[in-house]
Structure 1
């Protein structure tokens, strides 16, 4: 078929033709390069410009541009985009500072519903308010433009990084006191449990685990069946029967757990727990409790009970937001990963019984928790 373009013939070497043939059928190469490879192959085979444009479904101008580049500088040049340097938009420092200032606020501060900015929402807000704020250079700012401005100042308003506010002015001192207790117990273990020549003292790590849910199934669980069902099948629906609160303490000397489960968590429940500790340990000894500042631990009722038993109990308080210092948390974690995991019960009473049974199983094989990191220089 004769060419009507007036352009010269495109001669392809064997290697170039094979390269174009592979590229024209590629599923991974950019679409524009695949189309250009098809244009060059058809032109080299004698097809006319209009026919190539119809077959590939592009404009004739696109075909002309590709062929002209290949005739002028070779096949590889014809496949690639022509180099050009895009004009960088000019953003004044004042305009960039305005964008950064907006990013450091929240959308709700500007009568919007969102809590945090997304780049798209921020870019739209910048465009809508740029002229009124005197920064007309931003009236067509794209999301990429806003991103470049924020990236230059290392601002990421769409992300959250959580932190822990230090609300206890005596955090370091209280942490030190707790760690001293752990080191003392560890040294006693290393000395074959020989206590110093003084009044016997037992250390118990105590805390509460409120809100343990009593959930019951609406349909029975289906057990695994070899060759048919590999795991337990459970209906998505469940019914809440209420919650219970657990008070537990672990003896740091022998790993024994003492626990109670109640419907509520008040001073009277905590006093009942103290009475159980008083009955469990020998009279004349000191029961040292590692515990937090919960109101039930220091309430008027609790203080009155402690006053009736002078010298029997001793408190070592963990700092606020320092629950990780209390070793009973490891016990609660073990419960959550063992007998409380996926638990289903018919009533709150059954949940209480299951919890106490699980604690009895843990006491059958007690674990003595030891704190090994005593870096007091920090």
Structure 2
């Protein structure tokens, strides 16, 4: 004769109906549903092994739920007791020390890591032991990210910045005039790269795969000339950047806008972006003629965001230059396809920043308007 169960499940009619309704409605968690089915089967007198096979749990779990039912009732068998909350590993004082460490530079390291911070708290005697994951969760609540570093260039905003900015914004506010087109001009360098191993194309279930290793193939220079009111742009590739290349770009603009009386040129204060480049590489008479063809509007120093050519450069990087291009021919082919598509659609710049907005946002730099 087998050993009798120590904890026997004997449901009342009400309990049996309640459990049956729970299994049919399916609005409870999977764990609660499993326990309800387990109790119903145990109430039928089935062996723990049979119940375990039907429900998909171990015999130990079956025995444990039977014990909880007999000792604590239906609710105790179906639901876990709320566990008492553990005190936080780092109290307010410990968190303050952690924040202070994060805001200071680590000795001998570029930035803090979670493990470095955990070790530092132990060294300082804040805690006896702490995991890097606890440190991460604590910092997440404070919105501190010590592993991230951003660099930026802070412009010296003064009278020179303000008048140049307003000159640019005045230019952008002008209506379109074919006799006086506005051209935003900029130049950037680009690193050409080639694959060391051929990339694998995408297949169902797998994305395209590119080896992280690459080889450098030299650099080229891009000249971007963007006419924002007409949505036309030209991107030219040169192997060098200097006064000669800049002068050649101005000559090309002179030909492209031959019908214009004056070409308004918005550009930054790069050393080569000057009429002096024309006099350095062209006869004096031609240099003077070309320099007078343009109205030179310079953006303030460290204010490239005021040049709408920067918007085009940003789009160009995202849409075209994320791929590896190994030769000048490949670069020119990619740029031509991109340029042709955007010009065909006449994609314009939606410039919203005006002088009134500038005076509102930068009003502390207008002392006599206070």
Question: 2:361 — aligned with what?
Answer: none
Offset of residue 344 of structure 1: 6.9
Match of 1:313 in 2: 294
Task: Say which SS state the counterpart of residue 297 (structure 2) adopts.
Answer: strand
Q: How does 1:218-229 map to 2 (within 5 A)?
A: none
Which residue matches 1:167? 155
For 1:297, the equivalent position in structure 2 comes to 273
Task: Tell me what 1:115 maps to.
Answer: 111
The change in CA–CA distance for 1:168 and 1:42 in structure 2 (over 3 A counts) is same
Counterpart mapping for 1:253-264 below 5 A: 257=233, 260-264=236-240
CA apart distance, 1:91: 5.5
Q: Is the 8 A contact 2:112 2:146 kept in 1?
A: yes
C-alpha distance in 1, partners of 2:89/2:323?
Answer: 59
Partner of 2:307: 326
Counterpart position of 1:373: 352
Aligned residue in 2 for 1:100: 99
Summarize the alignment of residues 1-378 of structure 1 with structure 2, pairs less than 5 Å apart: 3=4, 5=6, 10-13=10-13, 14-16=16-18, 18=20, 29-30=30-31, 34=34, 38=38, 41-42=41-42, 45=45, 56-58=58-60, 63=63, 66-67=65-66, 69-86=68-85, 88=87, 93-105=92-104, 109-111=106-108, 115-118=111-114, 121=115, 124-126=118-120, 128-129=122-123, 133-135=124-126, 138-141=127-130, 146=135, 150=139, 154-157=142-145, 160=148, 164-170=152-158, 171-184=161-174, 186=175, 189=176, 193=177, 201-211=180-190, 213=192, 242-251=218-227, 257=233, 260-278=236-254, 285-298=261-274, 301=277, 308-309=287-288, 311-329=292-310, 331-332=312-313, 348-349=328-329, 351-352=331-332, 361=340, 367=346, 369=348, 372-373=351-352, 375-378=354-357
**Contact 1:204 1:250 (8 Å CA) reproduced:** yes
Take 2:322 and 2:86, find their aligned partners in 1: how far apart are those partners?
A: 61
What is the aligned length?
336
The answer as to whether partners of 1:178 and 1:325 remain within 8 angstroms in 2 is yes
- How many angstroms apart in 2 are the aligned matches of 1:245 and 1:369? 24
Question: Any gaps of 5 or more consecutive residues in structure 2?
Answer: 358-370
Larger Rg over CA atoms:
1
Q: In structure 2, how many angstroms separate the alpha carbons of the residues matched to 1:283 and 1:179?
A: 25
SS of the residue corresponding to residue 60 of structure 2 reads coil
How far residue 98 of structure 1 moved from its aligned partner, in angstroms, is: 1.7
TM normalised by structure 1 equals 0.62
Aligned-residue offset at 1:167: 2.3
TM norm structure 2: 0.63
Shift of 1:177: 1.8
Using the TM superposition, give the Cα deviation of residue 351 of structure 1 relative to its aligned residue in structure 2, in angstroms: 4.8
Measure how far apart 1:125 and its partner are.
1.7
- RMSD after superposition: 5.4
> CA, structure 1 residues 105+334, in 2 after alignment: closer, same or farther (shift >3 Å)?
closer
Distance in structure 2 (CA, Å) of the matches to 1:370 and 1:57: 70
